[in-house]
A and B are shown apart, each in its own frame.
Chain A
């Protein structure tokens, strides 16, 4: 299974580019190397401690730690820096780093596609540990996250994401998928968090739905610790003792998980009203629909011992201090839990062999007929080739529209000379345009000198020069 997964990810994410390798040593800045690197390059980080916030705004960059005799390269924010790594370039791969003590996130990608976040240790960050957002084709695998004040792994508004073989403990939330579609959460070990796995549709975000989320083959146990989420954060309202919470998400499947010893409930399937003071968003449908709890192993959920009561009491006090007495608290001060707990809302919900489980408020659930999915997908990832890419023909046109058209029109003088004049001067000589654009000189009086465009790189400059010469 592992071999297959690795093969798939290699197939999808290997970029056919001549990659250079750069090596960063303690005392040097990783950011300096990224600034000079080209798309496709691999940056190797040798063991030692680096106090940096890293930004990767280039495509196809790999950040890879070298682990030497058990010594890891460590990014340490020392509780002062905001973020460990922010990347916006697609094809970003980050692996084998220890990231800790950042005020915001450990590693986050922003709108990047084809991302791999692998083999990381992420410890003590103020918001999320590992956080891809607004991307497609994301792999989060073989990571350890702990001590995170929100979610250890947070899948935010993504599509086509696999979260597999991760360990998450001592976080407020272990793994969370929020307003995301086509997410596989598989083979993870999620324990000793306030809540193990959250599958949420939250209000007031630009993506309004969640769907097609599979949670299978995970071990979800003992998620009973005190909620230490920051005041005002939604996650600060998550009740301790919850193995899994589905909030307003649709088309969620649970199968073949071991879900045990979660003191409030194994799986809670809730509508927005169950979370105190949840914002209302008219575009978000607040009920969980088409959630299937297939065959899982449930054991000793909803059973509180003394320490659980202490944690629960502290949670209640914190809730009342920060947001007031929860509205509609018909659950009572210490709700009776169970293996599966509903909130009397949602449609097309079902449980396999419900008579075998300790249930609460699940009268509206039906029976799932099947024990497991008939044809479970191996991965949610889609082939990279199916994502829209830029051909070299389009590249010229797009670069022209993005850069050149600000100053050049086809037939008339704008800020620079018309394209027709450029064509006459550089007939059959695209390289002449490239050379001029890299280091322009003042040609005519009365017009500003063209700013140098060398930063675009040879590929784009050549494409745009050829495009300009064939424009009509």
Chain B
């Protein structure tokens, strides 16, 4: 009976509101909710979030990025292939609610955001384990996990859901069973389906689709670096420009692997960072000032330490997972202290301060949304 009631209220709530002004990405909280119903009502936003996407004339969210293929008027090192990347804002918003909802974990205490902290560009430090990689520009990412073992978001998402030291679900079916038992999620998924399928169960591909849409909406190509590259010579100061010049010089070879505009070349390589030998995915450097500690195991606490590590020649490792030894570009550079500082100054220009992912105050399960700490 409660379920039927909730559905009815939800259907009403789902009707689009013409005067849905307000802050981007906010959802609506129904004031009169019976405590027995547990969860408040949610309307999925029809607006694109403030995470580097814009709304096209059909309502889809697309990346704000000036590096289209063949666009020789712009000067990123690497022209991005134009992705047919059109995300539905409602699906992004549903993914966002799921991302912060501990309902996805077996003990109902851990959400995706527990390890992927939005204030740290969705990265996280996990002492004793590999750090959680930041979730930046994943829409352009062909490989997932530090060792690149997954080639799709779907493949990636099932791993933390069922890992015994992460969300610890016995299976993805167990997650789906829990979601299907939650009326709030039943109605939210129903709201983005064709009418004929309104009463279907939530499927694995729908869950992955929502989480994937949210993750793909986390785009950034609007940092001071980009403004500078687009011609705004005031966007960087003198030290930052010196740092950019060093970054792209073959004296350092930084840009060989951290290739603009993504600031990664997606390779799996060995640099010999302390903590674990082997080859790891070249991470993007976008938002890097927010993602300390650094390297796959958090060995360094500041960008200055990372730059010094490379300037001193990196580490040596001959037991890489893919059989690789330290990459042939990693060797002593010979930068002065001032040049090291210039590089660090440049790395800060990759932080996009307009990037404001919205953390929900409530999630449909009624549980406390992450990050829990």
Given that A35-B233, A456-B231 are contacting pairs, would A412 and B47 also be in contact in the complex, using a CB cutoff of 8 Å? yes
Bound Cα distance A204, B55 (Å): 38
| A-chain residues with CB within 8 Å of residue B66 when the two chains form the complex | 398-399, 401-403
Contact with B along A109-134 (1 / 0, CB 8 A): 01111100000000000111001001
Bound Cα distance A399, B71 (Å): 11
Question: Are A402 and B259 interface neighbours, CB within 8 A?
Answer: no
Contact with A along B183-209 (1 / 0, CB 8 A): 000000000000000000000000000
Question: Are B64 and A401 interface neighbours, CB within 8 A?
Answer: yes
Chain A interface size, as a band, is: 35 or more
Does B277 make an interface contact (CB < 8 A)? Answer: no
Does A455 make an interface contact (CB < 8 A)? Answer: yes
Does A59 make an interface contact (CB < 8 A)? Answer: yes
Stretch among B95-103, B156-164, B247-255 lining the A interface: B247-255
| B-chain residues with CB within 8 Å of residue A409 when the two chains form the complex | 47-48, 54-55
Does A331 make an interface contact (CB < 8 A)? Answer: no
Q: Chain A's nearest CB lies how many Å from the CB of B251?
A: 4
Q: Chain A's nearest CB lies how many Å from the CB of B246?
A: 7
Does B372 make an interface contact (CB < 8 A)? Answer: no
Does A342 make an interface contact (CB < 8 A)? Answer: no
Question: Are A206 and B267 interface neighbours, CB within 8 A?
Answer: yes
Contact with B along A66-108 (1 / 0, CB 8 A): 0000000000000000110010111100000000000111001
Does A277 make an interface contact (CB < 8 A)? Answer: yes
Question: Are A105 and B232 interface neighbours, CB within 8 A?
Answer: no
| B-chain residues with CB within 8 Å of residue A321 when the two chains form the complex | none
| B-chain residues with CB within 8 Å of residue A398 when the two chains form the complex | 66, 68, 71
Does A443 make an interface contact (CB < 8 A)? Answer: no
Does B174 make an interface contact (CB < 8 A)? Answer: no
Q: Chain B's nearest CB lies how many Å from the CB of A105?
A: 5
Does A55 make an interface contact (CB < 8 A)? Answer: yes
Given that A402-B66, A456-B230, A471-B57 are contacting pairs, would A105 and B250 also be in contact in the complex, using a CB cutoff of 8 Å? yes
Q: Chain A's nearest CB lies how many Å from the CB of B313?
A: 9
Does A383 make an interface contact (CB < 8 A)? Answer: no
Question: Are B57 and A455 interface neighbours, CB within 8 A?
Answer: no
Bound Cα distance A127, B231 (Å): 29
| B-chain residues with CB within 8 Å of residue A55 when the two chains form the complex | 245
Stretch among B5-13, B73-81, B284-292, B304-312 lining the A interface: B73-81
Does B354 make an interface contact (CB < 8 A)? Answer: yes
Interface of A is mostly: loop
Bound Cα distance A398, B82 (Å): 11
| B-chain residues with CB within 8 Å of residue A127 when the two chains form the complex | 250
| B-chain residues with CB within 8 Å of residue A387 when the two chains form the complex | 70, 72
Q: Which of B55, B250, B322 has the most CB of A within 10 A?
A: B250
Question: Are B78 and A204 interface neighbours, CB within 8 A?
Answer: no
Contact of B231 among A90, A230, A277, A455 (CB under 8 A): A455
Question: Are B259 and A280 interface neighbours, CB within 8 A?
Answer: no
Question: Are A82 and B324 interface neighbours, CB within 8 A?
Answer: no
Bound Cα distance A332, B62 (Å): 60
Does A18 make an interface contact (CB < 8 A)? Answer: no
Bound Cα distance A362, B65 (Å): 52
Q: Which of A35, A112, A390 has the most CB of B within 10 A?
A: A390
A-B pairs with beta carbons under 8 A, tally: 144
Q: Which of B230, B246, B331 has the most CB of A within 10 A?
A: B230
Bound Cα distance A409, B64 (Å): 12
| A-chain residues with CB within 8 Å of residue B68 when the two chains form the complex | 398
Bound Cα distance A58, B233 (Å): 12
Q: Chain B's nearest CB lies how many Å from the CB of A446?
A: 13
Question: Are B233 and A108 interface neighbours, CB within 8 A?
Answer: no
Bound Cα distance A139, B345 (Å): 36
Does A414 make an interface contact (CB < 8 A)? Answer: yes
Bound Cα distance A92, B265 (Å): 24
Question: Are B54 and A406 interface neighbours, CB within 8 A?
Answer: yes
Question: Are B251 and A204 interface neighbours, CB within 8 A?
Answer: no
Question: Are B251 and A82 interface neighbours, CB within 8 A?
Answer: yes
Question: Are A282 and B231 interface neighbours, CB within 8 A?
Answer: no
Does B141 make an interface contact (CB < 8 A)? Answer: no
Question: Are B250 and A402 interface neighbours, CB within 8 A?
Answer: no
Bound Cα distance A113, B69 (Å): 12
Bound Cα distance A280, B267 (Å): 13
Q: Chain A's nearest CB lies how many Å from the CB of B322?
A: 6
Q: Which of A205, A233, A409 has the most CB of B within 10 A?
A: A205
| A-chain residues with CB within 8 Å of residue B221 when the two chains form the complex | 402
Does A12 make an interface contact (CB < 8 A)? Answer: no
Question: Are B324 and A281 interface neighbours, CB within 8 A?
Answer: yes
Does A53 make an interface contact (CB < 8 A)? Answer: yes
Contact with A along B236-261 (1 / 0, CB 8 A): 00000000011011110001000100
Does B139 make an interface contact (CB < 8 A)? Answer: no
Across the interface, name the chain A residue whose C-beta is closest to B318: A277
Bound Cα distance A105, B256 (Å): 14
Question: Are A57 and B229 interface neighbours, CB within 8 A?
Answer: yes
Does B323 make an interface contact (CB < 8 A)? Answer: yes
Question: Are B230 and A86 interface neighbours, CB within 8 A?
Answer: no
| B-chain residues with CB within 8 Å of residue A328 when the two chains form the complex | none
Bound Cα distance A114, B75 (Å): 14
Question: Are B251 and A389 interface neighbours, CB within 8 A?
Answer: no
| A-chain residues with CB within 8 Å of residue B77 when the two chains form the complex | 88, 110-111, 134
Given that A57-B229, A204-B324, A277-B325 are contacting pairs, would A110 and B55 also be in contact in the complex, using a CB cutoff of 8 Å? no
Question: Are A472 and B57 interface neighbours, CB within 8 A?
Answer: yes
| A-chain residues with CB within 8 Å of residue B52 when the two chains form the complex | 406
> Which are the 10 A-B pairs with shortest beta-carbon distances?
A388-B70, A402-B66, A405-B54, A90-B72, A104-B250, A82-B251, A206-B265, A104-B251, A455-B231, A88-B75
* B contact residues vs A (CB 8 Å cutoff): 21, 24, 47-48, 50, 52, 54-55, 57, 62, 64-66, 68-79, 221-222, 229-234, 245-246, 248-251, 255, 259, 265-267, 269, 322-325, 327-328, 331, 354
25 contacts between A and B (CB under 8 A): A53-B245, A59-B72, A59-B75, A89-B72, A89-B75, A90-B72, A105-B250, A134-B77, A204-B269, A204-B324, A206-B259, A230-B331, A231-B331, A232-B331, A387-B72, A398-B71, A401-B62, A402-B64, A405-B55, A406-B222, A409-B48, A413-B21, A414-B50, A455-B231, A455-B234
